[in-house]
Amino acid sequence: MDNLLSNDKFHQTVPKQFILPPEMRVPREVNCTMSLPVINLRGGSHFHVEDRDQIIEEILHAGKEFGFFQVINYGVSEQLMRDMIRVIEEFFNMSKEDKAAYYSEDTSKTNRLFSSSYLAQKDGPRYWRDCLRLASYHVPETTNDWPDKPAKLREVLAKFIVEAREVSMTLLSLISEGLGLKEGYFEGDLTSGQVIINANYYPPCPAPDLTLGLLPHCDFSLITLLLQGAVSGLEIMHQGKWVRVDPVQNALVINFGHQLEIITNGLLKSVEHRGVTNSGAARTSLAMFIMPAKECFISPAKEIVNEENLPLYKSFVFKEFLRIYGELSAKRVDVMEAFKING
Ligand code: OGA
Ligand code: NI
């Protein structure tokens, strides 16, 4: 239980387990803030044909250029987004005793509160973050397995998951149309796995240059939606440099997970990102991972590979991917190498 960083409002010092070895301290470039493309989803459904075509073009362009983009006006109420962030803040601000009920170091548990990262190597450094990880198959059946405090958490999260999942299904359907995949390509097994939520809390850290909140990684998902509070801390790898993505009010950050990169045979990239710390303010974020079913068979799409565009990746069963991803601590080059043909 002592491991939770959020039990201490202001840390005066950084315990040595959190200090990264020099080779892992990736220096921050000056002026490295970037605005990600912001795509207006025009309410999120029932698009006019011209709008639809334009949105598809914007998604594919941003996807190929950055692997990340933001959406606004996607049909989830601003109130719900604010409530979602607030309820996570309230959760991490609860007393030590209240939080203790949910804390677990058992990585096989789907719903648990922990600190650092399950991807951290055993003898490696710890990361400056607490995380409440919750899974759901079918809201509302799983809501009873989530924390019962703060009082609003279950209700707000259940609503958020249902609505945000709609946004991801809309995006996937636009992507599938844009890439010429068969209609409904992403419906079914590719998106019927658990929806996993990482509610992240990064307390102020007195030594931001020596620590990281979250190690560099690509997501194991098909697609990820990220809701950020007002404090920045997300950095993405762009043209060989780490660049900061400042939060845009009411926007959702979208990025492609490894599965989408493999299915599109590398057309849409899964881009490395990390969480940095700061000394001034606590940061809250919520990542929602859309996942294939555990037994789902993943391979580059038939519509995309041909004699000129040979498959770059092997076929595999999703649960096997998860196992290897964990073993390799999410390190992008190693994970991609493991699934490359002739890799
Ligand atoms: C994640 C993630 C980024 C953030 O949870 O996978 O990348 O800004 N989070 O917290
Ligand atoms: Ni991530």
State which of 198, 228, 284, 322 you would mutate to test the pocket of ligand 1, scoring each by most atoms of that ligand within 8 A of its C-beta.
Answer: 198
- Domains of the chain: residue spans and CATH: 31-339 (2.60.120.330)
Q: Return the ligand 1 atom nearest residue 224 CA.
A: 6
pTM: 0.95
227 C-alpha to ligand 1 centroid (Å)? 9
Task: Supply the pLDDT for residue 74.
Answer: 95
Q: What gap in Å lies between CA 248 and CA 41, rounded to an integer? A: 15
Q: What gap in Å lies between CA 245 and CA 233, rounded to an integer? A: 7
And the tokens for 58?
């914007």
Task: Supply the pLDDT for residue 31.
Answer: 56
- b/e map 10-44, b = 16+ CB within 10 Å: ebeebeeebebeeeeeeeeeeeeeeebeebebbeb
Q: What gap in Å lies between CA 108 and CA 184, rounded to an integer? A: 32
Whether 285 is in the pocket of ligand 1, judged by its Cβ within 6 Å, is yes
Task: Supply the pLDDT for residue 343.
Answer: 52
Q: Return the ligand 1 atom nearest residue 129 CA.
A: 10
- b/e map 270-287, b = 16+ CB within 10 Å: bbbbbbbbbeeebbbbbb
Report which of residues 298 and 48 the model is more confident about.
Answer: 298
Q: Return the ligand 1 atom nearest residue 283 CA.
A: 10
283 C-alpha to ligand 1 centroid (Å)? 11
Percentage of the chain surpassing pLDDT 70? 97
Task: Find where tokens 């990600």 sit.
Answer: 36
3-state SS track over the chain? CCCCHHHCCCCCCCCHHHCCCHHHCCCCCCCCEECCCEEECCCCCCCCHHHHHHHHHHHHHHHHHCCEEEEECCCCCHHHHHHHHHHHHHHHCCCHHHHHCCECCCCCCCCEEEECCCCCCCCCCCCCCEEEEEEECCCCCCHHHCCCCCCCHHHHHHHHHHHHHHHHHHHHHHHHHHCCCCCCCCCCHHHCCCEEEEEEEECCCCCCCCCCCEEEECCCCCEEEEEECCCCCEEEEECCEEEEECCCCCCEEEEECHHHHHHCCCCCCCCCEEECCCCCCCEEEEEEEECCCCCCEECCCCCCCCCCCCCCECCEEHHHHHHHHHHCCCCHHHHHHHHECCC
Whether 33 has a pLDDT exceeding 90, the answer reads no
Contact present, 202 and 275 (Cβ < 8 Å): yes
How far, CA to CA in Å, does 148 sit from each of 101, 131, 281? 10, 16, 27
CA atoms within 13 A on the CB side of 108: 0
pLDDT per position as a tens digit, 160-172: 999 999 999 999 9
Task: Supply the pLDDT for residue 70.
Answer: 96
pLDDT per position as a tens digit, 262-287: 999 999 999 999 999 999 999 999 99
Nearest-CA residue for ligand 1 atom 8 is: 234
Contact present, 67 and 270 (Cβ < 8 Å): yes
Q: Return the ligand 1 atom nearest residue 131 CA.
A: 5
Query: What is the chain's mean pLDDT, rounded?
Result: 93
Q: What gap in Å lies between CA 341 and CA 343, rounded to an integer? A: 5
pLDDT per position as a tens digit, 92-114: 999 999 999 999 999 889 899 99
Percentage of the chain surpassing pLDDT 90? 83
pLDDT per position as a tens digit, 212-251: 999 999 999 999 999 999 999 999 999 998 889 999 999 9
And the tokens for 331?
């390190």
Whether 214 is in the pocket of ligand 1, judged by its Cβ within 6 Å, is yes
Task: Supply the pLDDT for residue 44.
Answer: 84
pLDDT, mean of residues 282-297 = 97
Whether 275 is in the pocket of ligand 1, judged by its Cβ within 6 Å, is yes
Q: Return the ligand 1 atom nearest residue 213 CA.
A: 10
What ligand has the least distance to the C-alpha of 200?
1
Q: Taken in order 244, 153, 217, 214, is the CA torsion positive or negative?
A: positive
171 C-alpha to ligand 1 centroid (Å)? 20
Q: Taken in order 41, 173, 233, 61, is the CA torsion positive or negative?
A: negative
Q: Return the ligand 1 atom nearest residue 285 CA.
A: 10
Whether 142 is in the pocket of ligand 1, judged by its Cβ within 6 Å, is no
Task: Supply the pLDDT for residue 63.
Answer: 92
What ligand has the least distance to the C-alpha of 132?
1
What ligand has the least distance to the C-alpha of 287?
1
State which of 214, 227, 277 you would mutate to test the pocket of ligand 1, scoring each by most atoms of that ligand within 8 A of its C-beta.
Answer: 214
Q: Return the ligand 1 atom nearest residue 219 CA.
A: 6
Phi, psi dihedral angles at 159 (to 5 degrees): -65, -45
Whether 273 is in the pocket of ligand 1, judged by its Cβ within 6 Å, is yes
Whether 247 is in the pocket of ligand 1, judged by its Cβ within 6 Å, is no
Whether 200 is in the pocket of ligand 1, judged by its Cβ within 6 Å, is yes
Q: What is the CA radius of gyration of the chain?
A: 19
